[in-house]
Amino acid sequence: MRRRYVSLAAAGLAATMTLTLTGCGSGSGGKDVALTLIAADYGDSKANSSQRYWDGLVRAFEEQNPGIKVDVKVYNWTDVDKKVEELVDSGKAPDMAQVGAYADYAARGKLYGADDLLSIPVQADFTPSLAEAGEYQRKQYGMPFGASTRRLFYNKKLFAAAGITAPPQNWSDILSDAQALKAHGVKIPFALPLGPEETQAETLEWMLAGGGDYTDQIGKYTINSPENVKTFEWLQKELVGKDLTGGDPAKLNREDAFAGFADGNVGMLNGHPTLMKQAEAKGIDYGTVELPGTTGKAKATMGVADWMMAFKQNGHRAEVGKFLDFVYSKKNVLTFSADYNLLPVTSSASQAMLADDRFSKLHGFLNQLPNAHFYPSNKTSWPLVSKTVKSRMGAVVGPQGNPSATLTDIQNIADTADNSTE
């Protein structure tokens, strides 16, 4: 699949903008068509709500396509998945939804495939790793919308004060740097947010750093692999056991860890691009590096993507495809990414961002995206596995934790769920 997308991109990328902005006739049979989209909110206030982005995009689209109307309703992340589920279960599916997961709807046969909707150049323009992450049973149903990768953030002022002259490159560096920060009085030398908010993310970051992953190359769960067990035994003994995390990781959520970094109380932590804006707003002088691994850089970083999907129920395939071709034009993808400090999901917008010095602080994150590893969101068992990870992994690194036993328990739950959905 990777080769297919790359070859398509080479053949058709230059035509993307032309095709997305032409062929703008009316809806089916000359009648106006009204499309509905439920979308997630990436803003942190009313002033920068995603509703503003969508309102502007829809106005531009409707001017070029007078026979198609688009109604976009934006919900916060706490409510959006539930809202879509309620609409689908009540027989009132929206034409499109931009949310966190797609596999369950694909498995139930409710979605159009990407190749049923998009022009070839637009579909070929998706970053290949993201396109592959959007596949269910080897067909793409999830169209990536907004992406990020992870890097290690460090506070330059705290590092300098503790006599640390370079950022960590491996786990030995993390340990020695954390010890130096603690000796200098830093409240949280290394923030390890394994609280329930986003445990599944921090868990994957450390799995990758230790040479493991949630799954292997053919999609089989490998949660209790020797690499993963060793990783969490190291965290338990070297960071938590030596009091270098400033408290119990099971009680620390990502949001609080980020706030602590922005307040100058955290020496190091794994973070995504939105932390940059948060830290800069508080005047923190920070740096970022690729995630350190056991003896050098991690084999890969974690990538996260949210998903656009299109439901078959209302039958507006042609109109939805025309709208999504417009959504995924280089200009619109770049605008959205810039507005919300996210990474573009298309090759053309990524190239434009890399060529623009205004986005230099995002370049390190963006360069990692092609080889990033994602949640196994193409597995219908993943929501249960993710929920289990959230409830169990925080305690693993505590004084009473048993990494091997807990990871094996989660592995068994994952295998059972996986087998029941085949």
Query: Burial of 232 by CB count in 10 Å (0-12 exposed, 13-18 middle, 19+ buried)?
Result: buried
Tokens matching residue 358 = 């205004």
Burial 152-183 (b: 16+ CB within 10 A, else e): bbbbeebbeebebeebbbebebbbebbbbbbe
407 touches 413 (CB < 8 A):
no
Cα 12 to Cα 10: distance, rounded to the nearest angstrom: 6
Place of tokens 């830290």: 279
Pairing mode of beta strands 68-75, 33-40 = parallel
Pairing mode of beta strands 143-149, 303-310 = antiparallel
Burial 367-397 (b: 16+ CB within 10 A, else e): ebbeebbbbbbbbbbbbbbbebbbebbbbbb
Pairing mode of beta strands 139-140, 151-155 = unpaired
Q: State which amino acid sits at residue 221.
A: Y
Class of domain 2-148+305-371 (CATH, top level) = alpha beta
Please say if the pLDDT value at position 100 is more than 50. yes
Burial 207-225 (b: 16+ CB within 10 A, else e): bbbbbbbbbeeeeebbbbb
Distances from the Cα of 283 to the Cα of 35, 205, 260, 280, 359, angstroms: 44, 27, 13, 5, 19
Please say if the pLDDT value at position 388 is more than 70. yes
pLDDT the model gives residue 421: 62
pLDDT the model gives residue 46: 80
Q: Count CA within 13 A, CB hemisphere, residue 65.
A: 30
Quickly state the pLDDT bin for 422 (edges 50, 70, 90): low
380 touches 373 (CB < 8 A):
no
Read off the DSSP letter of residue 295: S
Three-class secondary structure of residue 37 per DSSP? strand
pLDDT digits (tens, 9 = 90+) for 136-156: 999 999 999 999 999 999 999
pLDDT the model gives residue 24: 39
Which residues neighbour 283 within 8 Å (Cβ) at sequence distance 6 or greater? none
pLDDT the model gives residue 30: 55
Q: State which amino acid sits at residue 17.
A: M
Please say if the pLDDT value at position 121 is more than 60. yes
Average pLDDT, the chain: 91
Q: State which amino acid sits at residue 236.
A: Q
168 touches 268 (CB < 8 A):
yes
Cα 364 to Cα 113: distance, rounded to the nearest angstrom: 32
Cα 146 to Cα 304: distance, rounded to the nearest angstrom: 8
pLDDT the model gives residue 419: 86
**Residue 18 vs residue 306, higher pLDDT:** 306
pLDDT digits (tens, 9 = 90+) for 27-80: 444 578 999 999 999 987 788 899 999 999 999 999 999 999 999 999 998 899
pLDDT digits (tens, 9 = 90+) for 165-189: 999 999 999 999 999 999 999 999 9
Closest CA to 373 of 150, 194, 169, 178: 150
Three-class secondary structure of residue 145 per DSSP? strand
pLDDT the model gives residue 15: 37
Instruction: Kindly state the average pLDDT of the residues 373-391.
Output: 92
CATH superfamily of the domain spanning 151-301+381-420: Periplasmic binding protein-like II (3.40.190.10)
pLDDT digits (tens, 9 = 90+) for 252-285: 999 999 999 999 999 999 999 989 989 999 999 9
DSSP codes joined into one string, 218-285: TS-B-TT-HHHHHHHHHIIIIIITTT-SSS-GGG--HHHHHHHHHTT-EEEEEE-THHHHHHHHTT--
For CATH 3.40.190.10, the residue range(s) in the chain are: 2-148+305-371, 151-301+381-420
Q: How many helices (H) and strands (E) does the chain have?
A: 20, 11
Maximum CA pair distance of the chain?
Answer: 74
Residue 77: Cβ within 10 Å count: 12
